[in-house]
Amino acid sequence: MNWFDIFVLAWIGVAVITFVSLVFLKVRAPYGRHANDKWGKMIPNKWGWVIMELPALIVTPTIALLGPSEKDWFAMLLLGLWLFHYINRTLIFPFRIKTKGKMMPLTIVFSAIFFNGVNGFVNGFFLGFLYNPDATRAFLDPNIIIGISLFCIGVYINHTADSKLIALRKQNSGYQIPRGWLFNYISCPNHFGEIIEWTGYAVIGWNLPALSFAAWTFCNLVPRTLNHHEWYYENFPDYPKNRKAVIPFIL
């Protein structure tokens, strides 16, 4: 096992520790509906999103494209899916959300810069310096077909949920109970979609760095979704009792 694999395994270990800490200590990251100024200086929510997602958009393709590894169709597929997600998350999504006047602590922004920087480095370094093309790999390989299907399903769920939440904000300046579609079953279909999306990416890539990002997505979003779920119950007495948090019928 080389230094890179040890580093990535340790990074996955940090994800697991983070998950356990957030769930059992019930830490609510102070942005979005949980925002407060107890975590230090605040900046506009929109620009916080842009700044904290930017490292993943820049670091991964830069390292991947400048590295000496051959860039075959499979490497470009992984890089293309990565860019597809992060162009939306960095340059489009922050300007779609209706969060005028809402703020985000710089503590969260800097934490996310570190998180996205490490994830960007891990996946970019693999593609740019460690990737070895496999001549036997084909586009119709089961893991690629299954992975792309999961990725696309996840993107659809995430984007549709985001759009419904944005439309709900347009109707009223305050928070409301989302209803209809997957919101009948879980509180945060947007998070559920992103978990599916990066699980699909890991299935396509079938490598340790891609797995690490899927693990981090789960370990980061599930605790946040549980926080949202609890918040709904705290603020809406009529919140549906049979609705789960993030995985329909399960969690």
Token readout for 137 is 């790999």
Q: Give how far Cα 112 sits from Cα of 43, 71, 91, 163, Å.
A: 14, 29, 16, 23
Sign of CA dihedral 164, 158, 101, 90: negative
According to the model, what pLDDT value does residue 24 have? 82
pLDDT by position in tens, the chain (length 251): 899 999 999 999 999 999 998 888 776 665 555 555 566 688 888 888 899 999 999 999 999 999 999 999 999 999 999 999 999 999 999 888 866 778 888 888 898 999 999 999 999 999 999 999 998 999 999 999 999 999 999 999 999 999 998 888 766 656 788 898 999 999 999 999 999 999 999 999 999 999 999 999 999 999 999 998 999 998 898 999 999 999 999 98
According to the model, what pLDDT value does residue 57 have? 95
pTM of the model: 0.91
Q: How many CB atoms lie within 10 A of CB 69?
A: 17
Checking DSSP bridges between strand 103-105 and strand 42-44, what pairing results, if any? antiparallel
Structure-token match 């990416």, residue found: 201
